Homo-oligomer: A and B are copies of this chain.
Amino acid sequence: MDRDDWHSPVSTLADGSILIRGYPIAELIEHLAFSEAVYLVLRGEVPSRAEATLFDACLCAILDYAMGPAPYAARVVASANPQLVPALAAGVLAQGAYAASPQDAGEFIAGALEKWRSQGRGVEDVATAVVDEVVREGRRIPGFGRPSNHEPDERAAALERVMRSSGKWGEASELYTAIHRRWLERTGKKLVINVDGMLAVALTELGFRPLEMGGVAALSFLPGIIANAVEEIISGVKIRQIPGLRYTGPKKRHLDDRRG
């Protein structure tokens, strides 16, 4: 695509009215839930009732986590620059390889589904083949494991219940959980499916591309960042510094005057 060619399928102005994926925005304001409008903006169509129910569950999957890095960074920034927007941006940046990145699991699931579809074997056979390959290559499976313990992840479990009750437990769900079972047997490890893994399953069932899953995580992450940034600004704390910081550099020394 040419770098001077700008086009977007998301929205336009027509006769003085904003159309979002074709719909006048006033209709969305009056008749859609926010989660339905987000789904429309990202996926291009208004969700069915079952899709909307599951998508609401996905958007509620993160929210806040006793001040993990995202609200933490937002508060530190706000303590020097007491404005909302820079603090929110700093919080958004604290999302990546170690936190809230369902897109990695989403890409893994997309690859496994493609293998299933191209090979025509049963789900257990495909799961075995996938696990064999992962173990042989010494790779980890995105979405397995929690930093601190081996208990089931309450958020993953809740997402699974909503998938089942809304009739959206489908092929991606069957395949990823079969891979998980097979991987536990094969490796003897005890890692559970974490919230990133199950969020990737649910969003795959809803048709989201892996890259878009990071966007859903960013939306789900934002409320806790906002609430903490507001608290910090209102508290008036100035200049947070790192508690218990140790200095590991050289002892005091002096320059010879190198300039003159």
Contacts and interface: CB of A to CB of B under 8 A. Distances in A.
Interface of A: 1-14, 16-38, 41-42, 44, 46, 55-57, 59-61, 63-73, 75-77, 79-90, 92-100, 103, 147, 149, 151, 154-155, 157-159, 161-162, 209, 211-212, 214-215, 218-220, 222-224, 226-231, 233-255, 257-260
Of A26, A90, A157, A211, most B-chain CB atoms within 10 Å = A90
B63 A218 contact: no
Given A1-B235, A1-B237, A147-B239, A60 B89 contact: no
Given A66-B241, A147-B238, A154 B24 contact: yes
B29 A241 contact: no
B230 A222 contact: no
Nearest to A236: B1
B26 A259 contact: no
A23 B253 contact: yes
B66 A18 contact: yes
A94 B232 CA distance: 13
Contacts of A252: 14, 19, 22-24
Given A26-B158, A29-B159, A212-B230, A245 B35 contact: no
B77 A240 contact: no
Contacts of A96: 80-83, 85-86
A82 B60 contact: no
18 contacts: A3-B238, A7-B246, A8-B246, A12-B66, A19-B252, A23-B255, A30-B57, A36-B258, A80-B94, A80-B98, A81-B94, A82-B97, A86-B96, A99-B239, A209-B230, A211-B233, A211-B234, A215-B222
